Amino acid sequence: MKLIFAKNLEKTYSTGEIDVTAITSADFSIDSSSFVSFVGPSGSGKSTLLNMIGCLDRPSGGKLRVLDTDVTTLDRKRGAAFRAKHIGFIFQDFNLIPVLTVFENIEYPLIMVQKWSAEKRRKRVNEMLEAVDMTDQAYKLPSELSGGQKQRVAIARALATHAKLILADEPTANLDHATAYRIINLMKQMRDEFGSTFIFSTHDPKIMEAAEIIYTLEDGVVNLTKGENP
């Protein structure tokens, strides 16, 4: 199944007098359960693309369908509801809530989105802790964890609702190289286990090899450079 479909996708930011074109006439599509990376130097438009796919920002032109929904027409409120239901995010700086434990951070989307019973939540959180190998750190605070451990928690949180689509914007930028590899491979393992589609962005060519499909960005132009367009 085609999970994402973009045609002639455009994004221009208008800030005062000058317009900045971040994405130019991008065509791409992504199948469900794929493991995809957008690769490009800083300023090439990676975050812009991920933000449009995740309904954090709206395209200026062209088509963009995500999970069979035309997201170009969603207003802020409907975009947020769509995102909460279907999409998990993983960030460069982890974005864990500092006053909540590891367990509570992973539980958070289940409280906000799913309105499950405490027992059902506990079961899911424990399952996610196990999946990312963090069971013995469940009652620590984020400040007590290493960068790699924080990103494991962020992956577990993004997947807690069994989101179909996980977007990770430079998830390894704040990690050393060996840890970055482990995190990318963990994401791939989670794709295999949960069948979610993972899309990450990176400017680090060293971790590109883990991606099955690569779209390379250069000055807002998107080109398929590894794998096949579905």
Q: Which residues bind Mg ion (CB under 5 A)?
A: 46-47
Confirm or reject binding of residue 218 to ligand ADP (CB under 6 A): no
Confirm or reject binding of residue 40 to ligand ADP (CB under 6 A): yes
Rounded to whole angstroms, the Cα distance separating 64 from 59 reads 8
In contact, 175 and 204? CB cutoff 8 Å: no
What tokens appear for 91 in the block?
A: 């960030």
Confirm or reject binding of residue 44 to ligand ADP (CB under 6 A): yes
Nearer to ligand ADP, 13 or 139 (CB): 13
Q: How far is residue 154 CA from its own chain's centroid?
A: 10
Among 2, 7, 19, 20, binds ligand ADP (CB under 6 A): 20
In contact, 2 and 230? CB cutoff 8 Å: yes
Confirm or reject binding of residue 45 to ligand ADP (CB under 6 A): yes
Which residues face 37 on adjacent strands? 200, 214
Q: What is the dihedral of CA 79, 96, 164, 29, to 10 degrees?
A: 70
User: At its nearest, how many Å lie between ligand ADP and the CB of residue 9?
Assistant: 13
Q: Choose the contact partner of 149 out of Mg ion, ligand ADP, none; CB within 5 to 8 A by kind.
A: none
Confirm or reject binding of residue 15 to ligand ADP (CB under 6 A): yes
Q: How far is CA 146 from CA 106, 108, 202, in A?
A: 17, 21, 21
Confirm or reject binding of residue 47 to ligand ADP (CB under 6 A): yes
User: At its nearest, how many Å lie between ligand ADP and the CB of residue 219?
Assistant: 9
The 3-state DSSP class for residue 145 equals coil
Confirm or reject binding of residue 53 to ligand ADP (CB under 6 A): no
What tokens appear for 26 in the block?
A: 């991008």
> Of 46-54, 65-73, 91-99, 118-126, which segment contacts ligand ADP by CB under 6 A?
46-54
User: At its nearest, how many Å lie between Mg ion and the CB of residue 229?
Assistant: 23
Confirm or reject binding of residue 22 to ligand ADP (CB under 6 A): yes
User: At its nearest, how many Å lie between Mg ion and the CB of residue 121?
Assistant: 32
Confirm or reject binding of residue 46 to ligand ADP (CB under 6 A): yes
Among 5, 25, 32, 43, binds ligand ADP (CB under 6 A): 43
Name the nearest CA neighbour of 200 among 230, 219, 180, 228: 180
Rounded to whole angstroms, the Cα distance separating 201 from 187 reads 13
In contact, 195 and 210? CB cutoff 8 Å: no
The pair phi, psi for residue 171, each rounded to 5°, is: -65, -15
Residue nearest to Mg ion (CB): 47
Chain residues binding ligand ADP by CB under 6 A are 13, 15, 20, 22, 40, 42-48
